Amino acid sequence: MTTRPWIVDDDLRALIEPLLPPRPERSPGPRPVPDRLCLQGILYVLHQDLAWQLLSLELGFGSGRTCWRRLDCWQQAGIFEHLHPILLAKLNAAGELDCSRTCVDDGTHVRAKKEGAATGPSPVDRRKTGSKPHLICDGKGTPVKVFTTAANVNDITQTLALIDGIPPVAGRPGRPRRRPDALLGDKAYDSRTVRCELRKRRIVPVISRKGAPNIQGLGKLRYVVEQTFALLHQFKRLAVRWERRLELPDAFLSLACSRICWRRIKRNHS
């Protein structure tokens, strides 16, 4: 039997429902599509890279316009921003999160068909406009923070933003953790300013220096961030950016990271 990754099971539904904004008890017009079906429609688009207007009503998810509006509403309400830390806490409680070290890297250039916010010329072909994701993950490859910038933004400038954007990770006794012990990065993140700022935050920078041999064994530790990007590439909607507004690509990125975390939670319980 072929698995359908856009299906929302009962356990995930129980986590998401308390985060959803309340709907009015009485509203004119037909009965709205249930939130669970709309979320499955959004996940279907995320996995299949289907245009909103091509989302068939026969699938039971509602129209593409309905799913698009629900995605926009949930992103403005911060639903996906709150869901991700909840899933990280569950992984941390199960011992599946390695907060001792983090790995940072940027993804490949994503072509922006309609340009818009956070877009810029591609470093490879400056005639093409696009964006690129910046990702930080834990020592086991679980995505912790991700956001989108223009394609021509330097990687070094986003290092501290990624570190400071790590949400508080609960799940164990004591204060929720927000800072790793070490940050692993390649030579693209070699900067004296970044090293000083990381030490101020009590984070050990494990970053190869430009003009010097790579740190021995660093590649074996950093492969997890490349593995995480490979998992993100399974979501076909992330390969091309069709939206002008930055909120919607960030919503898709956050939702994809949450799905990766949920798979690991289910794998741990199975």
Q: What is the pLDDT of residues 146-182, one digit of tens each?
A: 999 999 898 889 999 999 999 999 988 888 888 899 9
Residue 95 scores a pLDDT above 50: yes
What distance lies between CA 151 and its chain's CA centroid?
17
Considering only CA atoms, which of 191, 215, 246 is closest in space to residue 75?
Answer: 246
**Cα-only R_g, the chain:** 19
Q: Whole-prediction pTM value? A: 0.91
Mean pLDDT (the chain, rounded)? 89
pLDDT of residue 1: 35
pLDDT of residue 2: 44
pLDDT of residue 131: 92
Compute the distance between CA of residue 143 and CA of residue 148 in angstroms, rounded to an integer.
14
| CB-CB contact of 79 with 115 (8 Å) | no
Compute the distance between CA of residue 254 and CA of residue 242 in angstroms, rounded to an integer.
17
Q: Which domains are present in the chain? A: 79-269 (3.30.420.10)
Compute the distance between CA of residue 73 and CA of residue 40 in angstroms, rounded to an integer.
15
Phi/psi-derived region of residue 212, left when phi > 0, alpha when psi is between -120 and 50, beta in every other case:
beta
* pLDDT single digits (tens) 112-145: 988 888 899 988 778 889 999 999 999 999 999 9
Non-local (6+) Cβ contacts of 93 within 8 A are 171, 172
Compute the distance between CA of residue 231 and CA of residue 201 in angstroms, rounded to an integer.
30
> What is the residue type of 67?
C
Name the percent of the chain lying above pLDDT 90. 60
Name the percent of the chain lying above pLDDT 70. 96
Q: What band does 27 get if pLDDT is binned at 50, 70 and 90?
A: low
Q: What band does 215 get if pLDDT is binned at 50, 70 and 90?
A: confident
Distances (CA, A) of 173 to 14, 167, 182, 217, 220: 24, 17, 21, 32, 31
